[in-house]
């Protein structure tokens, strides 16, 4: 059996909210779009369990269309409520065509509350604070990416009204990419409750909070790869059975999603993600995880939002390169950065250079555009330190 698939303009978050409300009640499935063009390969109908089709950001590969069922979306909402402070009211500060944005809408629907919707486009910390003041529910949430959190904290340092508004949240969920420990410490020192989330479109968004699985989510590490299981898993990829079979596997009667991320689980059951399995360079014969390098780099003052990418090298084959925004990287010395990384990860992991750009290119989701940055450093098209 199938159900209709309805393209909806995600530039109008309210329209996505209304469409999701209908989809969760059994109406047409929703495919949020960011333009007026409907791709010819987008089908008119999807399998009956599917309520939402979201496209992945494509930040590290080819975008995919992920099919999510109503049960999975609502299971994710219930798990979040159980791990945080119960059902509440949300501010939508993320694009409504990515899973982190649709999650805010689904959780609002499940809670029976109306989210405060920020207009799409450039993120404005003052507008975010104003939206926070409109929340009339005792339990208040928002989801941000690290760059947005940093912008909010900067504004809070300048304006006590912004600081008060941000501290009023029961929790600020931060995810979409690795969040530096220094940024989290800064937020918590300011009285802001930050919860780091881990998940993906294939898991209906964040399902691991501060390293701990929420709800009925389970985590396993198989041959160094993080795998996730639980009721919030996607149905699969629209129109791509081969990719679905490769990413979702059955083991001991349970369905698991193979994330492609490297990581480990402590004796206390806390997950640490160290980077992408395919994001490893061999430099001078030694394997170097760019994710681990980025983790160390982001703990350095002024480099909290820096990105580490690969670049070809005549002598070493490939090397890590740090890319940072011009203002944040002011005063950072490459020799000090290399020494700090080498002290933790060894000499092969030391960045070959620090590339400074006026602003980091971002995807609509707010994530760094890693493919654009990789092309940039390969073409040697920016100033160096």
CATH number, residue 361: 3.30.300.30
Residues 11 and 132 in one domain: yes
In this predicted model, what pLDDT tens digit does every residue of 136-156 receive, in sequence order?
A: 999 999 999 888 998 999 999
Residues 174 and 203 in one domain: yes
Query: Could you tell me the residue range of the domain that residue 293 belongs to?
Result: 279-384
* Residue of 190, 206, 98, 201 lying closest to 150 (CA atoms): 190
**Reduced DSSP (H G I as helix, E B as strand, rest coil) percent helix, strand, coil of the chain, to 5:** 30, 30, 35
How many angstroms separate the CA atoms of 183 and 200, rounded? 22
238 vs 121, more confident: 238
Residues 218 and 347 in one domain: no
The verdict on residue 274 lying in a domain is no
The verdict on residue 198 lying in a domain is yes
Residues 221 and 106 in one domain: yes
Looking at residue 123, the DSSP 8-state letter turns out to be -
Please enumerate in sequence order all residues whose Cβ is within 8 A of that of 384, keeping only pairs 6 or more positions apart, or say none.
353, 354, 355, 356
The verdict on residue 75 lying in a domain is yes
Residues 255 and 283 in one domain: no
358 vs 278, more confident: 358
Q: What is the pTM of this model?
A: 0.81
Residues 259 and 289 in one domain: no
How many domains are contained in the chain?
2
Residues 43 and 179 in one domain: yes
Residues 317 and 295 in one domain: yes
In this predicted model, what pLDDT tens digit does every residue of 332-350 receive, in sequence order?
A: 899 999 999 999 999 999 9
Looking at residue 39, the DSSP 8-state letter turns out to be P
- Rounded to the nearest 10 degrees, the angle between the axes of helix 160-167 and helix 146-158 is 130
The verdict on residue 272 lying in a domain is no
- Residue 213 is encoded by which pair of tokens? 């699985």
Residues 285 and 188 in one domain: no
Residues 220 and 362 in one domain: no
Domain boundary among 265, 300, 321: 265
Residues 235 and 130 in one domain: yes
Q: Tokens 């945080």 appear where?
A: 84
Whole-number pLDDT of residue 51: 98
Whole-number pLDDT of residue 107: 97
Domain boundary among 212, 241, 265: 265
The verdict on residue 39 lying in a domain is yes
In this predicted model, what pLDDT tens digit does every residue of 15-57 receive, in sequence order?
A: 999 999 999 999 999 999 988 888 888 999 999 999 999 988 6
Backbone angles phi and psi of 111, in degrees to 5: -85, -15
Distance of CA 258 to the CA centre of its chain: 17
Looking up residue 113, the CATH number of its domain turns out to be 3.40.50.12780
Residues 23 and 86 in one domain: yes
Q: If pLDDT is split at 50, 70 and 90, which confidence band does 383 have?
A: very low
């Amino acid at each position: 059996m199938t159900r209709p698939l309805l393209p909806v303009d995600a530039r109008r978050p309210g329209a996505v909210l209304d469409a999701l409300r209908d989809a969760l009640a059994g109406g047409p499935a929703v495919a949020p779009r960011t333009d007026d063009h409907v791709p010819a390969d987008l089908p008119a109908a999807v399998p009956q369990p599917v309520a939402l089709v979201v496209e992945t950001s494509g930040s590290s590969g080819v975008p995919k269309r992920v099919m999510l069922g109503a049960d999975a979306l609502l299971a994710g909402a219930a798990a979040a409520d159980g791990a945080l402070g119960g059902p509440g009211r949300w501010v939508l500060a993320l694009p409504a065509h990515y899973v982190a944005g649709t999650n805010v809408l689904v959780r609002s629907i499940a809670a029976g509350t109306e989210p405060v919707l920020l207009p799409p486009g450039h993120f404005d910390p003052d507008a975010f604070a104003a939206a926070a003041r409109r929340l009339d529910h005792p339990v208040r949430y928002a989801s941000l990416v690290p760059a947005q959190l940093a912008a909010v904290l900067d504004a809070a340092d300048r304006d006590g009204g912004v600081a008060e508004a941000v501290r009023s949240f029961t929790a600020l969920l931060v995810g979409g990419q690795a969040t530096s420990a220094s940024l989290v410490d800064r937020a918590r020192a300011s009285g802001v409750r930050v919860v780091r989330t881990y998940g993906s479109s294939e898991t209906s968004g964040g399902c691991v909070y501060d390293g701990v699985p929420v709800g009925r989510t389970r985590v396993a590490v198989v041959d160094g790869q993080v795998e996730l299981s639980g009721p919030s898993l996607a149905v699969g990829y629209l129109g791509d059975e081969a990719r679905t079979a490769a990413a979702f596997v059955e083991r001991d009667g349970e369905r698991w999603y193979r994330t492609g991320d490297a990581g480990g689980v402590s004796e206390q059951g806390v997950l640490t993600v160290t980077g992408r399995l395919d994001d490893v360079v061999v430099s001078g014969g030694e394997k170097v995880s760019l994710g681990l390098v980025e983790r160390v780099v982001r703990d350095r003052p002024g480099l909290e939002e820096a990105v580490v990418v690969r670049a070809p090298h005549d002598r070493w084959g490939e090397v890590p390169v740090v890319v940072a925004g011009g203002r944040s990287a002011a005063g950072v010395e490459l020799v000090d950065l290399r020494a700090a990384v080498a002290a933790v990860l060894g000499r092969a992991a030391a960045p070959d250079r620090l590339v400074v750009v006026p602003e980091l290119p971002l995807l609509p989701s707010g994530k760094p555009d890693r493919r654009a940055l990789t092309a940039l450093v390969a073409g040697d098209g920016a100033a160096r330190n």
